A and B are shown apart, each in its own frame.
Chain A
Amino acid sequence: MKRFVFLSIFLFLSLILCFSFFARAESIKPTGSVSVFGIYTDENDRLDNDKMSALGEYEEWWSGGEGNIKLDFDSLKFEGYVRDDYDWFANLGFDAKRMFQFKGSVNRMFHYFGHEIPFPEGYPDYTDQFKFYNSGKGWWSPPYDDVIANEYHGFKYYVGSDNGTGAGDKIVRFTDLNVGKNYYIRITRYATSGIFHVPTLPGLKLFYDFNRYEKFGHRQMYYMGSKCATCHIYTYGRRINERSNTLKLGLRVTRKLWGLEYYYEYKDFEDKAKPHSFNPDKVHHPANENANPFLGIVFYDENNLLYANTSPDVYKYTHVVKFYLKGLPLYSKLVASYVYSNIKSEYDDDAGYDLMSSGGNFDKERESLSPHFYAFLVSLTSRPLNNLTVNAKYRYYSIDADNVDVTLYPVDPSAAWPDPTCSPITGTCSCTGIQTHPYGDSAHYTYHSYYVLDRDVNEVKLALSYILKSKYVVSLGWEMENINRSSKQMNSQNPLDPNFPDSPYMESYDDTTTNSVFLNFNGKPFKKLSFRFSFRYDYTDDPFEFEKAKCPSDGDKCYIYDTWQYYRKLIGSADPENSYTTKLSLDFTPTKNLILGFNGRYSYQDNDDADWDKYILSLGTNLIFQLTEKLTFNLGYEYQNINTETPAVVPIFDG
């Protein structure tokens, strides 16, 4: 990729040199402006990134200066701005009598990130050597350091010489490995594009487009230090050193009745910062460190080296062909296109780490994920009557990939309580459970992955547009989308099933079919008034859902550990089954010096299977009033209300 960067810089500098001679040869006197400003801020909160990012996360809030320059040589235009090393840009544009058009820019900006304390104010401070006492079992827990919260009553606790009641059996721990560190990144974007009109072949254009993003700095990230997130959370300053490149090369042929375009696009994303490595906390039960039934359900223990917040490098190669044909009967225009992409994502072994772990309990059959994407589109637009336009469109696309096939195994599948009667469940609940494996059979935790984006999709659209009395435009339409997924979801994992656990993913997803209707009504009934109204309704049959996502809302905590672990009956989905959206906007100019505007939107979505609904109401008005030629006022008001009702999933862990 470096050669593309050098090529772009070389082109950029060469063009500046050429244009200087060009300007001199043409004796063009430039126009433009130069400005220099000093900046003073009181900087009270400068050293607190959280506060400054609340005021404006992309703004620099410290004293200094800034300068701006604009130069216009007619065919050559330049604009530059500088605040400091974190905030500046330079833009250059050149048009050689429409034979060659060039644009180039470098833009750098600053972005604050917050530094969070992962528990809200009001929690107790850190406590070391914290123990709690289970009176039902007569156990003292092993000591915990850095305990910052313990919830609900019923247990005694002990810290050094202090003890009391009110502490709970849920231990929450948090460690910030970079206390007090401020986080921010520096973003740099390089961009250049050009179009060359071949003089000997009229209608033929060659074009290129290149973009490069760089992000550099640190930001706070979380990772889980133990078997569940609520037990022990670490935060640390992760180094950010990312770059992504996009290069597009193509040609376009435009004739009287037809046109053809082809381009090739290359994209990549690379994360050059080595991720943070850690050994998980020791896996043990908080109430009895001598028994360790968790080893039957966890994939890593303190002997494994893991990496937090890893990002794979991604490479994408795309070919696009577009074609259109005009001059058909009924003033018709035919458009067709074909897209092929191949995406490869892989972890950078050069950085010294491997997929997920250097010593975890897993098997994998492929190193990288490499899906293929194919899309075909055909669209026909006709005008059978002077004021009626009809459009029909069909699109098919497919995402196809082999599974990476990662299979995970518990650290110790044979781990169990030494004495079934010692299960903490039997003492507090009357429900039945597998006492040897109170947290579920180890076999249930053997996990095999599938590539969930694998799918075939068909889309159809029909739309009519009618012009009424030259003042109104009415559009009606219907759309349909059908998604067929190849992946499978977790079925009821009955351990008594003779095929278990070889076929735990027996259930395919149903096809997702969405039918939509829409109405657009735009008009200008009077010279001073115009409006735009739209309504859309989408109905989805079998939206993307996970059928065994949640515990039932009427469940008791005893039932969390059922005969087998996955006692989940409720459907989980973030996709709606019904979706209604209405929009209205008005522009009114009652007098020459007064402009009034209004916009409103109401949207309602629900999914009865997953038992949620959501509505959004947003309203806005604006006013521009020119009192005199020298005095203008503007006033605006925006209101937005979003309301969501959804079942809460409460993770309750024993330990």
Chain B
Amino acid sequence: MNAGFNFAVTKRLTLFGDAYYVHSEEDYDRPYLGSIKSPNPWSEFDVSDYSDLEFDEYRISGGLAYNLKENLTVQVKATYADFDEDEYYMQDRDADVVYVTAGVKWNF
């Protein structure tokens, strides 16, 4: 899911922002092994457990652009990204980061 906006507040000032969210999951059903009886190698460590995958990921960005002159703009933008694994493969990779950019753009 994603959403965004771009809003010209005044002739010089523009606000913008966007966000997206992803939820993903995968289920691995416990395998049917027919007439294979005890000792069942699958019973001690359930492959269906560690083969399930589930994660949530979202990213939110927002910022503003201000025209100092007709051809000179300063812009600031901040992004927060988050990755959250509820069911993971091998190892938990939960991570998040704050990412800020600020600068100037000259058109000619």
Chain B residues contacting A637 (CB-CB under 8 Å) are 1
Contact call A554/B100, Cβ cutoff below 8 A: no
Name the distance in Å between B27's Cβ and chain A's nearest Cβ: 9
CB neighbours (8 Å) of A30 from chain B are 108
Chain B residues numbered 85-108 whose CB sits less than 8 Å from any CB in chain A = 85, 89-108
Minimum distance in angstroms from A17 CB to a CB of chain B: 23
Given the interface pairs A34-B105, A35-B105, A56-B81, the reply to whether A122 lies near B50 with Cβ below 8 Å is yes
Q: Does residue B37 face the partner (Cβ distance < 8 Å to A)?
A: yes
Chain A residues contacting B107 (CB-CB under 8 Å) are: 32-33
* A52 proximity list for chain B (CB < 8 A): 95, 97
Q: Which of A42, A48, A120 contacts B98, CB < 8 Å?
A: A42
In the complex the two chains form, is A152's CB within 8 Å of B108's CB?
no
| Known A-B contacts A48-B95, A52-B95; A32 and B108 likewise in contact (beta carbons under 8 Å) | yes
- Which bracket fits the contact residues of B? 35 or more
A152 to B40, CA, bound (A): 7
Task: Check if B8 is an interface residue, CB within 8 A of chain A.
Answer: yes
> Within the complex, which residue of A34, A54, A554 is in contact with B83, where a contact is CB–CB below 8 Å?
A54
Tell me, in angstroms, the Cα distance from A151 to B44 when the chains sit together. Answer: 7
Decide if A631 touches B7 in the complex (CB within 8 Å): yes
Residues of chain B within 8 A (CB-CB) of A7 are none
B1 adjacent to A638 (CB under 8 Å): yes
Do B91 and A631 have beta carbons less than 8 Å apart? no
A650 B92 Cβ-Cβ under 8 A: no
A44 adjacent to B96 (CB under 8 Å): yes
Q: A152–B38 Cα gap in the complex (Å)?
A: 10
Pick from A36, A44, A117, A555: contact of B90, CB below 8 A.
Answer: A117
**Residues of A contacting B32 in the complex (Cβ-Cβ under 8 angstroms):** 553
Chain B residues near A553: list those with CB within 8 A: 32-34
**Interface flags, A601-627, vs B, CB<8A=1, else 0:** 000000000000000000000000000
CB of A645 to closest CB in B, whole Å: 8
A630 on the B face (CB < 8 A): yes
The docked-state distance in angstroms from the alpha carbon of A410 to that of B100 is 61
In the bound complex, CA of A402 to CA of B42 (Å): 44
Any B CB within 8 A of the CB of A528: no
How long is the Cα–Cα vector from A119 to B91 in the complex, in angstroms? 9
Which residues of A (630-648) have their CB < 8 Å from a CB of B? 630-638, 648
CB distance from B23 to the nearest CB of A (A): 10
Q: Taking the nearest CB of chain B, how far is it from the CB of A61, in angstroms?
A: 5
User: Is the pair A41, B99 in contact by a Cβ cutoff of 8 Å?
Assistant: yes
Cβ–Cβ < 8 Å partners of B41 in chain A: 151-152, 168, 170, 650, 652
Please name 21 pairs of A and B residues whose Cβ atoms are closer than 8 Å in the assembled complex, sorted by A.
A35-B106, A39-B100, A39-B101, A40-B102, A41-B98, A43-B97, A44-B95, A44-B96, A52-B97, A116-B90, A118-B90, A120-B91, A552-B34, A553-B33, A555-B34, A556-B36, A556-B37, A557-B36, A632-B7, A633-B5, A634-B5
